[in-house]
Amino acid sequence: MTAVSLTINGRTVNAEVEPRTHLADFIRDTQNLTGTHLGCEHGVCGACTVLVDGVPVRSCITFAVTCSGASVTTIEGLDNDDVGAELRAAFSREHALQCGYCTPGMLMSGRDLVLRAQTPDEHGIRVAMSGNLCRCTGYVGIVRAIQSVIAGRRSRGIGPLPGAGRTALGPAGSGHGQSVGTGDVARRAVSVGAGEAAAAVSVQPEQLADWTPQASFDQSFVLHHAIADVWNFFGDTAAVAMCLPGASLSGDTGARHVAGKMRIKVGPIAAEFHGSAEIDRDPATYSGKIDGSGRDQRNNTATRGAIRYRLLAVSENTTKVELNVGYRLTGPLAQFSRSDLVHDIASRLIAVFAQNVEARLGGSEQAAAPAAELNASALFFSVLADLIKARFRRLCRMATGRSGD
């Protein structure tokens, strides 16, 4: 546990926290300030936005220990704030909320914008508020509400505050110069945008079991080879890695704990995950598991994944491979972690993998030179093309009055 001392809504708080505790969990669970909402919990939706030293931050990816010495303001702390009051009235007037889940984050970010915006320019407001997502309203009321508050204040002669009144340079909450014990580790994690990332950097094999996947899915494929041959092949880690586009191993590939890297390209983003994996196999049940984690230095994206597999003999020369894949992705590439998208891309990746395994088991050299990089964009666009084709087929059926698939 680490001692932390900070101000929350003007009240001094001294506490002992786990270094991994996020600010959002700290203020909700220990301070009972539940107006701060948690949506995506990886820095995308903005529902958890609070002010740290007057600057909006995502409290779901900010460690509580890094806020030692800082002044934190939550939505409850805006009760007597004049901009907060104007925004609440405007949100109500303009029907800028429905379920209200995004509203605390919208008000925190909106307040920052009201303070610094020169004019109530709609485009500027949409861009400035693009880090706060709302699933209900369509944003029209939200934009109008913020516009009206900015316009009202400027018409009353209240000018914009450069930088919304910030005086400190650097990341929000920095510059207090306090030693917070393990805070250096925590700060590094904040700079990469996600708490899990720091853990992934130094993850030890024995820690790999202690995590929960963000999402998981089942997948299977069939190989036209006897179960014993497939089982032996799966025991050859280097050969298996050769079948996975973008993957390569280093060091002792025969060990239970292996190191390696995976190159992946999503649009303009190219990532190279370096990491390690722990492999377990149970010959009695023809099953195994691979637990791995990796981190890309350039994009500050970290990942953890677990693959469970089981082989089933369908016939003498046919084997079904059943997979369960669980994963967690944090950092910039986490925007691609929506489970349906990942599932579709992974399905195609697994199809390529199955083809390569089939070829290698058949003695073909075709799979000997795997793709140097997994091009997720190509996979993504093939997913998109399939969706468009399906939609087009449906439209044709509707036009011709046919039913069924």
Judged by CB under 6 A, the stretch of 43-51, 154-162, 189-197, 218-226 that binds ligand FES is: 43-51
Q: Least CB distance from residue 362 to ligand FES, whole Å?
A: 47
Judged by CB under 6 A, the stretch of 133-141, 154-162, 179-187, 320-328 that binds ligand FES is: 133-141
Indicate whether 38 belongs to the interface with ligand FES (CB under 6 A).
yes
Looking at the Cβ atoms of 88 and 360, the one nearer to ligand FES is 88
Phi, psi (rounded to 5 degrees) for 140? -60, -50
Indicate whether 145 belongs to the interface with ligand FES (CB under 6 A).
no
Kindly tell me which residue out of 41, 53, 86, 358 binds ligand FES, with binding defined by CB under 6 A.
Answer: 41
Please state, in angstroms and rounded to a whole number, the distance separating the CA atoms of residues 405 and 402.
9
Q: Least CB distance from residue 170 to ligand FES, whole Å?
A: 21
Please state, in angstroms and rounded to a whole number, the distance separating the CA atoms of residues 115 and 158.
9
Looking at the Cβ atoms of 98 and 253, the one nearer to ligand FES is 98
Burial class (CB in 10 A: 0-12, 13-18, 19+), 401: exposed
Looking at the Cβ atoms of 25 and 344, the one nearer to ligand FES is 25
Please state, in angstroms and rounded to a whole number, the distance separating the CA atoms of residues 237 and 253.
6
Site string for ligand FES, 148-187 (x = CB under 6 A): ----------------------------------------
Indicate whether 335 belongs to the interface with ligand FES (CB under 6 A).
no
Indicate whether 100 belongs to the interface with ligand FES (CB under 6 A).
yes
Please state, in angstroms and rounded to a whole number, the distance separating the CA atoms of residues 343 and 334.
14
Please state, in angstroms and rounded to a whole number, the distance separating the CA atoms of residues 265 and 49.
30
Indicate whether 259 belongs to the interface with ligand FES (CB under 6 A).
no
Looking at the Cβ atoms of 95 and 394, the one nearer to ligand FES is 95
Indicate whether 354 belongs to the interface with ligand FES (CB under 6 A).
no
Q: Least CB distance from residue 217 to ligand FES, whole Å?
A: 22
Site string for ligand FES, 223-252 (x = CB under 6 A): ------------------------------
Phi, psi (rounded to 5 degrees) for 297? -70, -40
Indicate whether 40 belongs to the interface with ligand FES (CB under 6 A).
yes
Tell me the CA distances in angstroms from 178 to 51, 221, 286, 362, one per residue in order.
Answer: 19, 55, 54, 63
Copy the structure tokens of residue 218.
Answer: 């089942």
405's CB contacts (< 8 A; 6+ apart) are none
- DSSP labels for 252-296? -TTSSEEEEEEEEEETTEEEEEEEEEEEEEETTTTEEEEEEEEEE
Judged by CB under 6 A, the stretch of 65-73, 94-102, 254-262, 283-291 that binds ligand FES is: 94-102
Is 258:252 a contact under the CB 8 Å cutoff?
A: yes
**H helices present in 56-204, as ranges:** 82-93, 103-116, 122-128, 140-155, 183-191, 195-201
Q: Which residues bind ligand FES (CB under 6 A)?
A: 38-41, 43-48, 58, 60, 97-102, 134-137
